[in-house]
Amino acid sequence: MLDIVLMVVAVLLILLSLLQSGKSDGISSAFSGSGGLNLFANVKERGPEKTISRLTLVLGIAFFVLVILVRIV
């Protein structure tokens, strides 16, 4: 039963992480030098982005807890 829940959480976690918008120009701009240095930029999330971000965090924590529970049981 825990295995099925773990797989569902894993799939949802992957989908939510793919839905998130990028907060920077990506790694290619870091090597090419285009644009300003935007490491650790403080960007406020609003609306649906904030909801997706928090849900991703909750599912990530649930994933690790489920992995530990599956390993123990």
Domain ranges of the chain: 2-72
pLDDT of residue 58: 96
CA distance 39 to 24: 8
Task: State the Cα–Cα distance between residues 46 and 54, nearest whole angstrom.
Answer: 11
Q: Which of 26, 23, 5, 13 is nearest to 52 (CA)?
A: 13
Query: Across all residues in the chain, what is the average pLDDT?
Result: 82
Express each pLDDT in 32-66 by its tens digit: 555 555 555 566 778 889 999 999 999 999 999 99
Contact of 1 with 69, CB cutoff 8 Å: no
Q: How far is CA 48 from the centre of its chain?
A: 14
